[in-house]
Structure 1
Amino acid sequence: MIKSVLIFNNHGKPRLIKFYHQIDIATQQALVQEIFTLVSKRPDTACNFLEGSKLLGGKDTRVIYRHYATLYFVFVVDESESELGILDLIQVFVESLDRCFENVCELDLIFHFEEVHAILSEIVQGGLVLETNMGEIVAAINEMNRAKKRTSAGVTAAGFNSLRTADPLKRFRR
């Protein structure tokens, strides 16, 4: 089972934090700091799997990560998950982000955090992997964006029409 998904930059600033079990904020911050310290010191040629520390749950927990440009994508999982499967899942997540944002960068994660969380929710929910087909993931996100545009366009048109039909001087009259 996936315990958490973290994305942080080369300086340790979190860009996405998603825990799939209840954990207090102070422990979350300590975990992010500990994981950043663990993975940032490793050379690019080192293995992308780490055994967890006491904060992470001991030897039953694995930290699996990939470093892309200025971002670390980290999945914290229990021993029932395949390390290579999670590495592939990270690749699917990154490529899905790339398709949705066209050359995803750190700023996309900051300014479009709702969409990033939606993409992650298409892939993982409740710590379980739901979808790994990038075409399905991107299609679901595109449909969500189209529905959002239709809804906002309908609200805007309805608001505009009600303003147009209302008496424009009504608010000035008593």
Structure 2
Amino acid sequence: MIKFFLLSNKQGQIRLSHYYDFIPFDQRPAMEAEIVRKCISRNASQCSFVEYKDYKLVYRRYSSLYFIVGVDSSENELSILELIHNYVEILDASFEQVCELDIMFHLEKAHFILDEMISNGHILEISRFHILESVNLMSIADQKS
């Protein structure tokens, strides 16, 4: 089961965070900082899986952004890497080569795409076509109002 999804830049600033398991709000910043520091400090030749407390961290770097997913011990790491890659491809299709500024200025859209893919820590949809169709419908509805 997916516990959280974090998106960070190279400086360690969190740009998106979504939690599927309860973690007290006051504990999140310290935990996020430690997780990001752990992932950023690894070099490219090291594995993309890291143990952290009760979680397995699966991360992937795309240009200047780190996509970090915390899962429990029963989750398949390779499927999570595929989920991250799929999310990045959908963001690329939505924003024309996604960058950090796209996430910052369209945070609700980034969350919406993530919500279309994951619900309550379980992967619901992986089809880029279906997810982009929902995103396009949302954009049309926003333009009408």
Q: If the TM-score is normalised by the length of the shorter chain, which range does it land in?
A: over 0.9
1:117 alignment counterpart? 111
2:3 alignment counterpart? 3
1:1-174 matches, within 5 Å, as 1-53=1-53, 57=54, 61-150=55-144, 152=145
Is the radius of gyration larger for structure 1 or structure 2? 1
Identity among equivalent positions (%) equals 41
| Structure 1 or 2: more strand by fraction | 2
Give me the whole-angstrom Cα distance separating, in 2, the residues matched to 1:89 and 1:28.
Answer: 23
3-state DSSP class of the match of 1:73? strand
Give me the whole-angstrom Cα distance separating, in 2, the residues matched to 1:129 and 1:86.
Answer: 9
Gaps of 5+ in 1: 153-174
How far did residue 25 of structure 1 move? 2.1
Q: 4+ runs of 1 displaced by more than 4 Å? A: none
Aligned residue pairs, count: 145
Gaps of 5+ in 2: none
Give me the whole-angstrom Cα distance separating, in 2, the residues matched to 1:82 and 1:23.
Answer: 22
Give me the whole-angstrom Cα distance separating, in 2, the residues matched to 1:133 and 1:118.
Answer: 15
3-state DSSP class of the match of 2:26? helix
